Amino acid sequence: MDSASLWKRYQQYLCHCPELGLWLDVSRMGADDGFLQQLEPAMQQAFIEMQALETGAIANQDEKRMVGHYWLRDTALAPSRELRQEIEQTVQTIERFAADIHNGTICSPAGNPFHKLLLIGIGGSALGPQFVADALGGPGDKMAAYFLDNTDPDGMDRVFQQIGELAECLVLVISKSGSTKETRNGMLEAQAAWHKAGLDFNRQAVAVTGTDSELDRLAVAEGWLARFPMWDWVGGRTSIMSAVGLLPAALQGLDIQGLMEGARLCDQATRSTTTRSNPAALMALMWHHATNGCGAKDLVMLPYKDRLLLFSRYLQQLIMESIGKQFDRNGRQVHQGLTVYGNKGSTDQHAYVQQLREGVHNFFVTFIEVLQDRQGESLEVEPGITSGDFLFGFLYGTRQALTEQGRASMTITVERLDARTVGTLIALFERTVGLYASLININAYHQPGVEAGKKAAGAIIELQRQLHDLLKTRPDMSSPDELATALGVPEKAETINALLRRITHR
């Protein structure tokens, strides 16, 4: 397609939302008016379903739960006065608690102010806070943030070494049920580290959890500093505007009101039932067009901003956990999904853009452009040219190189990267996921596959306990087949072999 045709398509398919400081260019996705007209009835139905969701319809049928992350940034939407008050009071409590930490009203047992923050969680209880911390944080933060987001002992040791002096570190333990094994293990490791340092972990610990969960009861019994709620109507991957994300951000000294304002304004813009002016609806349609509505191609995220590096990881969970489903809402086996990966520009010029341009055509790209390069003036690295100008050149050069090879892409442009913009981007993709799920008739708000993996892991841990007990009484037994037969699970010989190898080397 020549330059004149590309310019004409750009003008035809550009969606500009001045209230958000955002542009969405879908002109290089290859969709035409015929496709948009064909999907318009389905999109209007998706708008109806989204409205029902926001007003309190049961969306998670497995657990008979509402899905209310939209209420977190606009409490007027909450279906009851009690919920509205609870959300508002939680935000106020978060802000007061953060202020008390910052001004020293709440301090360490030794009377020292807290300068560091350790967050222990996994999945949605860590990815969102990590993304926000990295996107908006810096050397001037009120507290430096660290994360335990796995059950890898060596990884935990590295984090404790990075923290250094534990006496100045506040700990947030985040788990809705309180029984998530990775988070529990991280908490136990932290307790041991504090005890080894001669410190009282309970006087430095805060829980973010469900009411009367295991963690909630533990925090009460041990006298932790504070507890904040996690509600059953907020899924982990959409919990960033709850205490899960707002508390660590407030403690870090970030602008949580700006974060929520950006999300609220984006929610308003993406409620529009005029498809062409709704960026989330257009993105959902482009996902459908690129993948034939069945996950036929991958979504490659290319943000041209270092602060958005973790956005791809955040979106992996949001999109893949929401869209990756074996069955549709009618119970038919469909194996839906949308694979997400990404790095950052212009690093990608030296990584995998070679394959994107000339290799397997199994993807489409979403570029993210930030117009403001930095606070203040930029150095000219060549006459009249700054480093940011090169970043712009690499973005648009890569986009053009992909277009020349028939590789589809869309571009999101924002004016600057601040708390309001981060909130906007989060809300934009949350809404896109919900609308796309409706278009392909799957439930975006449950995750049976995750639970299946947890159950299988639990069975392996139980087998390890049985193996350990058997070896104490029969140390002469070493054959995986022999041990598996003795345990009454001959079909588990391969797992027994792996356990024996691990026991030998741990």
Cβ atoms within 10 Å, residue 318: 26
Q: How far apart are CA 429 and CA 433, in angstroms?
A: 6
Q: Which active-site residues does the annotation give? A: 321, 350, 454
Q: What SS3 class is residue 49?
A: helix
Task: Write down how long the chain is.
Answer: 506
User: What is the amino acid identity at position 87?
Assistant: I
Cβ atoms within 10 Å, residue 420: 23
Q: How far apart are CA 354 and CA 405, in angstroms?
A: 12
Tokens of 121: 């969680």
Cβ atoms within 10 Å, residue 404: 10
Q: How far is CA 147 from CA 101, 175, 190, 416, in A?
A: 19, 14, 11, 27
Q: Are strands 205-209 and 226-229 parallel, antiparallel or unpaired?
A: parallel
Q: How far apart are CA 361 and CA 356, in angstroms?
A: 7
CA neighbours closer than 13 Å in the CB half-sphere of residue 131: 32
- Our CA dihedral for 320, 321, 324, 327, rounded to 10 degrees, sits at -160
Q: How far apart are CA 497 and CA 190, in angstroms?
A: 31
Tokens of 318: 């949001």
